Amino acid sequence: MNSSQITTAQRIKAIIGGSIGNLVEWYDWYAYAAFAIYFSNSFFPDSDLTAQLLNTAGIFAVGFLMRPVGGWLFGSIADKIGRKKAMTLSVLLMSFGSLLIAFTPTYKTIGVLAPALLLLARLLQGLSVGGEYGVSATYLSEMATEDRRGFYSSFQYVTLIGGQLIALGIQLILQKLLLTETQLEEWGWRIPFIIGAILSVIALYLRANLHETEAFENKKEVSEKKKGSIKELLKHPKALLTVIGLTLGGTLAFYTYTTYMQKFLVNTVHLTKEQSTLISFISLFIFACLQPVFGALSDKIGRRPLLLSFGILGTIFTYPLLNALSTTTSMWGAFSLIMAALIIVSGYTSINAVVKAELFPSEVRALGVGLPYALTVAIFGGTAEYIALWFKQEDMEHYFYWYITACIFFSLVVYSRMKDTKDNSTLDKD
């Protein structure tokens, strides 16, 4: 089906279908991070909270190591046989990982096999999420009209954050209305993983009814050897290095202020679990709403000004914001500081998907977007929690703030040297 045959309603349906699948994938991924404070004791019996969280964060990080494999596997599938099929397979794999976590017995019941099964589930989820990013970023960018690419593709992070919001929302309902803390620690933490598996069935239905993109259909005549191959991808070294450089600081900042922040508020700021969950929920909801605003802005003024603003403000304010946050005693003071940080990070999150998609030709686009991104996220995003907790344990937590600052500055150097992809987009050649 070509662009002249795709109506606005069909285009919106495609964007929603691709986005909702993305939401379910990331819900499953974040449910692990959100509920780790409750189930860490079930898999790693230890009296020290930081040690338990370190072990749980270690498995979270290992899950990230599978993401480059997922980026390669699903990126190749998307470039060879279609974006739609790759997205359907990725959501199936994620649901299996969620079910495995939901029904794994505790350490007391089956001993060392319990953390081993938890690790296996995270490896499967890492494979799935690693593939999801590149394929959905490519799909959303290709389905958008030329003048709305920033806006449409920003919904990837709306749904990515939305997945975390649903996980936190379920956590709030369980905390406030349904279960005691003891019940949550004993068995209640399993509920979100069962919900995740059910949501996957809905996403599977939506994705099965999506249109394939015109950009993919137009490259049917391209040699199969070229589509989705590493050899073909390596012909674009500048684009590959650009993806790594522009992702590095942004992904570290994003994971610090989202997945790790809830633990930071409990472990460092000494707020209650309920307070930290509420702050995370409200700040992430506003953060999600900001993504289309920034995305639409990039359609007007270009992608580069937003990336530069994130790089400059992130370099200047990361240390002061995190340092102030670590010493605050007010719940709403903490909220204000996190919100300021998330507004800065929006300059990266809202448009990073479309910027990467605009760098590669369609025959290697999903692979080009997914693989270098997944490698960078595995090294820097996936280890953010572990490094932060290690510095905390060594009583050198402020070193972590400087580490984030240095990574954002590195990305700023990349932003300052790259062309604005809005005006030099490979999507225009499809």
Query: Is residue 177 over pLDDT 50?
Result: yes
Residue 224 in domain: no
- Give the pLDDT mean for 182-210: 87
**Full-model pTM:** 0.84
d(CA 410, CA 109): 47
Contact (CB, 8 A) for 368 and 75: yes
Residue 421 sits at φ, ψ, to 5 deg, of -70, -20
Residue 308 in domain: yes
pLDDT band at residue 47 using 50, 70 and 90 as cut-offs: low
List the domain range (segments joined by +) for residue 169. 16-211+231-417
- What would the two tokens of residue 87 be? 């997205």
CA 207 to chain centre: 19
Total structural domains in the chain? 1
User: Which residues have a Cβ under 8 Å from the Cβ of 231 and sit 6 or more positions away?
Assistant: none
d(CA 420, CA 303): 6
d(CA 272, CA 266): 6
- Give the pLDDT mean for 319-346: 94
Residue 119 in domain: yes
pLDDT digits (tens, 9 = 90+) for 370-426: 999 999 988 888 788 889 988 988 989 899 999 999 999 999 999 999 998 888 888
- What would the two tokens of residue 379 be? 């090294």
- Regarding predicted confidence, which is higher, 107 or 251? 251
Residue 218: count of CB within 10 angstroms of its CB? 14
What pLDDT is attached to residue 404? 96
Query: Is residue 243 over pLDDT 90?
Result: yes
pLDDT digits (tens, 9 = 90+) for 153-174: 898 889 888 988 898 889 889 9
Contact (CB, 8 A) for 280 and 372: no
What pLDDT is attached to residue 221? 66
- Give the pLDDT mean for 330-338: 94
Residue 266 in domain: yes
Residue 345 in domain: yes
What pLDDT is attached to residue 103? 92
Residue 11 in domain: no
Residue 37 in domain: yes
Mean pLDDT across the chain: 87
Residue 425 in domain: no
CATH of the domain at 296: 1.20.1250.20
Max avg pLDDT among 85-99, 209-223, 332-346? 332-346
What pLDDT is attached to residue 220? 67
**Helix, coil or strand: residue 236:** coil
pLDDT band at residue 2 using 50, 70 and 90 as cut-offs: very low
